Structure 1
Amino acid sequence: MNIPIASILRGLGGKCVLNWALVFFQRKHICRSFLGVFSVSLAVVDTLLTLSVTALHLQAEGHLLGLKLTRYHVCLLVQILGEVYSTLQWPVVIVAGLDHFFAVTRRWQASSRLSLFGSGLLWILSTLYVFLLSDFRPVMEEVFHIQIHQCWVFHTSQILHIATSLLLILGCAALHARRLALKHPPLKDQITDQSRAHSRRSFVLQTLYIFLNTWALLLVILAVLLLLPVGIPAYLGLNSAWLCFLNSLLIAVVLCAVCPASQLGQGGGGRAPRQLL
């Protein structure tokens, strides 16, 4: 899709404001998880990208380290970072899911330094993948660099794929809990098993209620985007608002899949959703 450079700058500026606003409001606990640390790194990278694109756009005839700067470099930089953002989506989901799994099961708690190292490693590996292994090819228009007013920008469908996949997993966990609640156990263990099944079902329903009550509006927006042929620009796809939603969704999936099976018998599972979502 072709997007005016002015619109790209406004989009990046708004994204930076949103990123830093969410980082500020969650500053007390943002370093307690991998996604929190990654959100800070994303805010830093987005800020550097915005400043770089603005400088390239304003200094179209300037020079840097012997390299002549043109508006072609604006489009090139936006396309490269957009591809890196798209490449990062699934690795971030996997690492964040493992982080929440180990935290919920109390097997291991990642430190801030380890989360920072993991975030940096993901950025480096994703960048190397884009340059060395992927089939990414920049798209440049055949016009004089002074006359460039629009950039070809790739769109991403990763957000819809990830949200759909995790919501399906969450639905399957809810159906599994309901099936266990309706299952008839042996008579000698009937009371105990029925009590556990009821607790499991209540736990899953409570988790789903909190999640849906928190993110109902965003779920509607995602459903509209899924139905309409509207592409999300790749350079806007990875942002702190999406990471907040992803964080809650991953916690809900882990809680429904793990906590009812391992912690409800100890009587502590009912409080977990409200603490973590």
Structure 2
Amino acid sequence: MSDKILFKSILTADNTSGLDVMNGHEVLSTDQRQLGPSCILILIIAGKVIMNLLIFGARHRNVSASFLGYFCISLAAVDFGLLFVVAFIHYFQDFSVLGFRITNYHICLFTQIISHTYGILHFPVFLVSGLDYYLTIVKSIKISRIYPGLLYSIYVLLLWITAFVYVLRSPIDSPTVDSYETAYLCTFYISRQSFYLSVALVLTIFMVFAECCCEMLAFIKSLKVISSANNIIVLFSFPSGDQWPIQGRKPFLASLLFSFLGTWSPFVVLQIIIFILCAHIPAYMDMNVPWLYFVNSFLIAVSLGLKYPDLPETENIFSTDPFVGWKYCALPFMVAEQKKDILLLNELPSAVMIV
């Protein structure tokens, strides 16, 4: 019997419905004459690990603690652990650990478990992160000052344990195949949660854009871009008659949307392309650090929108996002009580946002 894992594509002709495809029956295919499936899987996971490192390297250094930030770190650790295990098994091929025999078959098994676990975590992570920002930003509730990172770490650990236990205890039905197929059929879970969550986020962005399209056009017309001290500074020149702070929910939403798209527009375009092509991505790739930081920025923007006009004035809130400078987006709309903020805004000819 061959020790290679076969990645077979189950098409509509194999009596697999579209819902079954989204429920985990969609798999990748490769020709056995080409590079081995195990090698391809290792290269894909290695690319994901490198992408995680690049994203972490691009973050701002001073970032406040948040649930989603700690979950991103844990996800990167699980990705690295999966890469190490898969590469170790592929290198030694057939060995025993504590009397348990490990073969190339377990490459598929471990990846299936991780893939299914990733696939069911989208909604829980989104809801817990949304609750975290709702309490800390909208309700201005202070998390325990004593080791707040420890509290988030416990929540993240409990979430991972719950997900793993659910996956290991839940039966997964394998698709029916012809008798001539090899026993080493490796199927990868496709997350329906990721699909619906992506649709909801993109539709929300388009709805806000449609609501504030006039304000967005005004922002674009007044836009000026300059470079100073190796930073790109975006200036918005408003009519001379306008006084600080600027008021209005629609201009504020337009400012949030402009800041969000200024950072994540490539990711939004990528999501739209995936929808148009109906591409199904395995869950072990679909759950990734860039996607989580995209969701993180979205949730912070929603929280600030709900908080307006009583915007928080603490630096701790605005430094939660490591990629979008929400402070420079919200300052022109804040009823600032501190004189230094008023003096700073009066000295500037326009609102300043560093991206």
TM over 0.5: yes
Contiguous gaps of at least 5 residues in structure 1: 179-195
1:153–1:234 CA contact under 8 A, matched in 2 = yes
2:252–2:330 CA contact under 8 A, matched in 1 = yes
Counterpart-to-counterpart distance in 1, 2:122 and 2:106: 25
Q: 1:76 to 1:201 in 2, by over 3 A?
A: same
Query: Which residue of 182, 205, 230 maps to 1:143?
Result: 182
2:95–2:102 CA contact under 8 A, matched in 1 = yes
AA paired with 1:77? Answer: F
More helix by share: 1
Q: 1:232 to 1:113 in 2, by over 3 A?
A: same
Counterpart-to-counterpart distance in 1, 2:131 and 2:118: 20
In structure 1, the residue matched to 2:137 is 104
Q: 1:218 to 1:95 in 2, by over 3 A?
A: same
Q: 1:276 to 1:261 in 2, by over 3 A?
A: farther
Q: 1:31 to 1:17 in 2, by over 3 A?
A: farther
Counterpart-to-counterpart distance in 2, 1:276 and 1:35: 23
Offset, 1:232: 0.6
Contiguous gaps of at least 5 residues in structure 2: 1-26, 30-36, 214-244, 313-326, 334-351
Is the counterpart of residue 115 in structure 1 residue 156 in structure 2? no
Counterpart-to-counterpart distance in 1, 2:354 and 2:309: 18
In structure 2, the residue matched to 1:45 is 78
CA offsets, 1:123-143, max 9 Å, x none?
Answer: 0011111122x3434679963
RMSD of aligned C-alpha atoms?
A: 3.2
- TM-score, normalised on structure 2? 0.63
1:12–1:46 CA contact under 8 A, matched in 2 = yes
Counterpart-to-counterpart distance in 2, 1:121 and 1:140: 35
1:170–1:252 CA contact under 8 A, matched in 2 = no
In structure 2, the residue matched to 1:74 is 107
Q: What percent of counterpart residues are identical? A: 28
Q: 1:229 to 1:167 in 2, by over 3 A?
A: closer
CA offsets, 1:69-99, max 9 Å, x none?
Answer: 1111110110110000011111110111111
Equivalenced residues, count: 251
Q: 1:30 to 1:18 in 2, by over 3 A?
A: farther
Offset, 1:210: 0.9
Q: 1:252 to 1:128 in 2, by over 3 A?
A: same
Q: Secondary structure at the match of 1:63?
A: strand
Q: 1:158 to 1:30 in 2, by over 3 A?
A: farther
Q: 1:29 to 1:91 in 2, by over 3 A?
A: farther
In structure 1, the residue matched to 2:264 is 215
1:34–1:99 CA contact under 8 A, matched in 2 = yes
Is the counterpart of residue 125 in structure 1 residue 158 in structure 2? no
Within 5 Å, which residues of 2 pair with 1:118-267?
118-132=155-169, 134-137=170-173, 143=182, 151-170=186-205, 199-256=248-305, 258-263=306-311
Counterpart-to-counterpart distance in 1, 2:60 and 2:172: 36
Counterpart-to-counterpart distance in 2, 1:6 and 1:242: 25
In structure 2, the residue matched to 1:2 is 28
Which of the two has higher C-alpha Rg? 2
Q: 1:138 to 1:75 in 2, by over 3 A?
A: farther
Offset, 1:224: 0.8
Q: 1:252 to 1:236 in 2, by over 3 A?
A: same
Q: Secondary structure at the match of 2:121?
A: helix
Q: 1:276 to 1:167 in 2, by over 3 A?
A: farther
Q: 1:143 to 1:30 in 2, by over 3 A?
A: farther
